[in-house]
Amino acid sequence: MYKLKIYLFLLLTIVTSLVYAQNPTATTKILVMGDSLSAGYGIDVEQGWVSLLEEELTKNHAVQIINASVSGETSSGGNTRLPALLAEHNPDIVILELGGNDGLRGQPLKLLEKNLQSMIDASKKNEAKVLLAGMQIPPNYGARYSNQFKELYPKLAKQNQLGLIPFLLEGIGGNDTLVQRDGIHPTAEAQPLIVKNVLPELEKLLP
């Protein structure tokens, strides 16, 4: 019996080694669920931060990014679409970049929190890691609402033990030279800065 166990162990080791030799670096699938900030509004898709991020990551990692971002998307829309996307792509990592449109429309923060939590739960149930992109809205929506909106993202990240990008547009928001005429959407020149904001937190989740 002892010799049989040794034989089976050696056989399993050999088979595992052969499988690894054939596929030493499995591709990591990353699903981006975002709004116009991630969909590349007002610029060519190739200039957007999601495309630039994939270019940067493939230098050292085997990754595939599925950009499921839609301009004008709210957390409610993302929550509705996510289950089908998880089933179709089975991602290893989900980047949630939603909530900006909820805030700009003054929607209840309880609804935003509920939708984001639902997407976090669905992603985890599908065995995907989650990276939450923190967002902020202008102070003219009222200090209380703006502050509570800003604090919602680190709150969810802490409660769910998620990776967090503190503020997706750090170094961009408020800089007129990096924002399009609408005063909201980043220019093509700002996209590499977004990559710099995302990359350090995303790399923590990569194999």
156-184 pLDDT tens trace = 999 999 999 999 999 998 899 999 999 99
Percentage of residues in the chain having pLDDT higher than 90: 84
State both tokens at 59.
Answer: 């230098």
Mean pLDDT of 122-135: 98
| Token digits of residue 81 | 């679409």
Options 38, 69, 102, 185, the catalytic residue: 185
Q: In what order do the strands lie in the sheet with 129-133?
A: 63-67, 28-34, 93-97, 129-133, 163-165
With a CB cutoff of 8 Å and minimum separation 6, the contacts of 157 are 132, 163, 164
Tell me the residue type at 55.
E
**Which residue among 35, 36, 38, 69 is the active-site one?**
36
Q: Give every CB contact of residue 119 below 8 A, 6+ residues apart in sequence.
A: 33, 75, 78, 79, 82, 94, 96, 98
Return d(Cα 64, Cα 78) in angstroms, integer: 20
**Closest alpha carbon to 38 in 27, 53, 57:** 53
What's the chain's average pLDDT? 90
Q: What per-residue confidence (pLDDT) applies to 1?
A: 52
Q: Which two tokens stand for residue 155?
A: 């709150």
Per residue in 55-94, pLDDT (tens digit) is 999 999 999 999 999 999 999 999 999 999 999 999 999 9
Catalytic residue flag (residue 102)? no
Maximum distance among all alpha carbons in the chain? Answer: 76
How far apart CA 15 and CA 194 sit, in angstroms, is: 43
For the chain, domain boundaries: 27-203
Stretch 28-54: mean pLDDT: 97
| Phi, psi angle pair for 177, to nearest 5° | -75, -15
- The answer to whether 146 and 177 have CB atoms below 8 angstroms apart is no
State how far the Cα of 61 lies from the Cα of 157, in Å rounded to an integer.
25
**pLDDT at residue 66 in the model:** 98
Mean of pLDDT values over 111-134: 98
Active-site residue 36, yes or no?
yes
**pTM here?**
0.87
Core vs surface per residue 67-98: b (16+ CB within 10 A) or e: bbbbeebbbbbbbeebeebbeebebbbbbbbb
CATH superfamily of 27-203: SGNH hydrolase (3.40.50.1110)
Residues 6+ apart with CB under 8 A from 50: 32, 34, 38, 40, 65, 67, 69
